[in-house]
Every structure is written in structure tokens, then in C-alpha cells.
Amino acid sequence: MRGTRAGLILLAGIGTLNIGNAAFHLLTARVLGPSQYSEVASLVTVAGLISLPFSGVQVAIARFVAEDATRGEAGALASFVRRAMLASVIVAGALAAALTLVSPVVRNALGVRHLTPVVLTALYVFPALLAPALWGVAQGLQRFALISVSMVSGTAFRIGIVVALLPFGLGVGGVMGATLLSGFAALAVPMPLVWRWLRRTADPPAAGTHSDRAVVGYVIPVMAGTLAITSLTSVDLIAAKVALTSHDAGIYGSASFIGRLLLYLPTTIATVLLPKVTSRAVAARDTREILHASLAVTALFSLGATAILVTLPRLVVDVTFGSSYGSAAPLVGLFGLAMTLYALLNILLVYHLGHGRPGVAWLLLGGAIVQIAIYGAVHGSAYQLITANLASAGCLLLIHELAFEATLVPGSKWLVVTLHHRLLGTRRQRRG
């Protein structure tokens, strides 16, 4: 599938998913109010910090599946899918059980009033950890439409349950219960594809690229990088919940959510970028042009959206969360700028991982650890938290450009040249 078509398919799916997620957050925020919404935001963040790093598993599975598919090695592919799914089920079940056991501790740490929402969040970890493995198989085979449908079905199911519970008095427990059920709904779509590969004749694991040791050696830095991106873009919500009042934490969470909307298109680009880079690397083809194009499109979209957040912050907040969240308006532009930088870092992470290079993953993980330490020392206000977030993103991007590879200037040149050529082509068509 061509990159443009794949991108459009994923854009439709991820766009619908994110509209659904936005509707979910906006609906629950308006119904519950800032204090209870802060509980939802913190619980969703905890689930994300645990489950989102496992999108690194998706990256790893997609890379190895793409390699086998490019070489036409069906037996090796079936063997890898079988081992990957077994490991994913075991790990997902173990982590969900462990989090369920420590739910009372999590409840006290976050200041959540009832235990049930915390337990439901713990149970949600199981389908949330399993989904990346299924999506990784589909991504590696470039079945992007299947990923899109899975994403859409899960979020539509969650919205439907939330709306159905409104007449009965929606609480934090109802919100997290809807989230749990939506996780299982998302698994149903890619399962038939994966099941077909599980039933195929599999070759025994080789001692080379697809040995268990090689796979684990690749998965660890991938998960580290994904954990780092997740932490860098969301752990401030937990810091806000712990350090600020419940009302102020809810305000901070609303501003953060609006800013993080800017990560959605780059997520689409990164999902398409990985198998494309991997396939080209296996075939010894150049990958720099696709990287520069990805960075340019990401920057263009993110900076354009940030400009809207800077110029019309109050309108954006009123339209989304409502007037009761009006004090979030001064923060949304800062979040937009921070998320623009993180979007570029995510593209760079996926590009390097597609080549099997783990250095950027460890850089981002180190940055995430330093950022948490900064939050521990500086957390007196929402402005201190977002400033620390923005500074972390800027420093990490600068270190990448100086220590790993200069990419922003070539990406800018690619954009200028592409726009220039298209402008000349348009003029020639008009003259003709």
C-alpha cells in the first residue's frame, strides 16, 4: 500500500478515534465537573503509563512481521506471531492481576474517593496491553484499515456505554467501566487475522534475527522509548493531581488534553512510517526522504494548530470543555508548543527504531526520569509544571540534533523544495 493511501486510511481511523476520545473526555468533564473529572484524568493517565508503553510491543512486532513479509517467509512469520501472542497474553494477565491487588494503594495515592473505579482501571490493563500485539501484526502486514476499524469500534463502544449510563447518574465508576468494556470491543476486529496466522504451519525459531533473545533485545529499547514518550507527555497530570487542588488539577487536565490533541496526526504518520522504513532498510533503499517528509508534515500541522490555540485560547476552551474550565485558556498555547516538540521526537524515535537503533529510546527515557525529578522539586503551580514540560521537550530535541543526526534543517528544506515544485507545476498548468 502506498504511504499516502495508508496514511489517509489511518488518518480516518485515528481521527475518528480521537474525536471519540475527545467526546468521551468532554462529556465526562461536563457531567462530572472539575473535581470528579480530575479522578478520571488521573486514572486514565495511570492506565496509559502502564499500557501505552506496550505500543512499543506493537512497534517491535510490526518490524519483525514486516521483515518476514518482505522476504516472503510465511513459516517464520507464523512462528513469530505465535510466540508474540503467547508472551503478550501472559504479561497482560500478570500485570492486570498485580495492579488489581495494589488498587487500594493506588486509590490512596491519587486521592480517588471510591475503590471500584481503580479496580476497573486495573482490569482494563489486560485488553489495553493485548491490543498492541494484535495491531502490530496488522501493521507489519500493512493492514492499516483493520487497525482503523479496531480503534473506531473501541471508542464508539465506550461512548455508547457512557451515553447509556447518563440517565442513571454517571459516576467515575461508570466511566471506567465503559473504558474496560471498550478495550475488549477493540480486540474483536483484528483477532480473525491473527487467528489465521496462529493456525498456520510455523517454522521453528531461528537462531538469528527472530530468536527470542533477539526479539527481547529489540523490544526492551522500544518499550523504553514508548514509555518515555508516554511519561514525558502525561506524567505531569499525576503531578498536578498530587500537588494541586482537585479543581486546579481538573483545569490542568483539560488544558493538557487540548494540547495533546496535536499528537494525533503524528501518531498516524509514525504508524505508517515504521513498516515503510523497515521495508526500505531491509531492501537497502534510502529512508531519509520519507523521514524528512514525515517531520515536515508533522511540524506544519502541529504549528498550525498551536497558532490557533495561541490566538483563540478562550474560544477553544469554551467550545470544548465549557466556561467552567475558562481558567485553562492561558495554558493551552503552551501545551500546543510542547506537544509539537514531542510529536517531532516521536517521529524521530520511530525512525531510529525502524533501523534497529536504540540510542534515541534511551535518550528519551533518561529525559523522562530527569523530568520526573524536576516535577518533584518544582510543582507549586500549573505554570511551573507546563514550563518544565516545555523545557524538557526543547532540550531533548536539541540533544538529538547535536548528538545523533541533524534532521530538522533537512526536513525544512524538503518542505520548501516540495512546495516550490508544486507551485511551479500549478503555474505551468495554468499557462498550458
User: Looking at residue 308, what is its pLDDT?
Assistant: 92
SS (H, E, C) 387-403: HHHHHHHHHHHHHHHHH
Asked if residue 20 lies in contact with residue 152, where contact means CB atoms within 8 angstroms, the answer is yes
Q: Phi then psi for 111, rounded to 5 degrees?
A: 70, 30
Number of H helices, E strands in the chain: 17, 0
Distance CA(152)–CA(155), nearest Å, equals 5
Delimit the domains of the chain by residue range: 1-210, 224-421
Distance CA(233)–CA(306), nearest Å, equals 16
Asked if residue 46 lies in contact with residue 234, where contact means CB atoms within 8 angstroms, the answer is no
Count how many residues are written for the chain: 432
Q: Phi then psi for 286, rounded to 5 degrees?
A: -70, 140
Q: Which residues contact 398 (CB under 8 A, 6 or more apart)?
A: none
Residue 322 identity: G
Distance CA(164)–CA(169), nearest Å, equals 10
Residue 280 identity: R
SS (H, E, C) 325-383: HHHHHHHHHHHHHHHHHHHHHHHHHHHHHHCCCCHHHHHHHHHHHHHHHHHHHCCCCHH
**Which position has the grid cell 487540548?**
258
**Which position has the grid cell 475503590?**
115
Pairs from 206-213 (Cβ < 8 Å, separation ≥ 24): 206/76, 209/64, 209/67, 210/64, 210/68, 210/76, 210/79, 210/80, 212/83
User: Looking at residue 141, what is its pLDDT?
Assistant: 84
Distance CA(143)–CA(131), nearest Å, equals 15
Q: Which residues contact 380 (CB under 8 A, 6 or more apart)?
A: 243
**Which position has the grid cell 467550545?**
319
Asked if residue 150 lies in contact with residue 128, where contact means CB atoms within 8 angstroms, the answer is no
Q: Which residues contact 57 (CB under 8 A, 6 or more apart)?
A: 84, 88, 132, 133, 136, 219, 222, 223
Distance CA(344)–CA(393), nearest Å, equals 10
Distances (CA, A) of 296 to 196, 259, 409, 414: 38, 19, 10, 7
Q: How confident is the prediction along the chain (432 residues), in pLDDT tens digits per residue?
A: 444 565 567 667 776 777 777 788 888 888 888 778 888 888 888 887 787 777 778 877 887 888 888 777 788 888 888 888 998 999 999 999 999 999 999 888 888 888 989 999 999 999 999 998 999 888 888 787 888 888 888 888 888 888 888 777 778 888 888 889 999 999 999 999 889 888 877 666 554 455 667 777 777 888 888 889 888 988 888 888 888 888 888 888 888 888 887 876 677 677 667 666 766 776 677 778 888 888 888 888 889 989 999 999 999 888 878 788 888 899 999 999 999 999 999 999 988 887 878 899 999 999 999 999 999 888 888 899 999 999 999 999 999 999 998 888 888 888 888 776 666 655 556 565
Report the SS3 class of residue 174: helix
CA atoms within 13 A on the CB side of 326: 2
Distance CA(89)–CA(81), nearest Å, equals 12
pTM of this prediction? 0.69
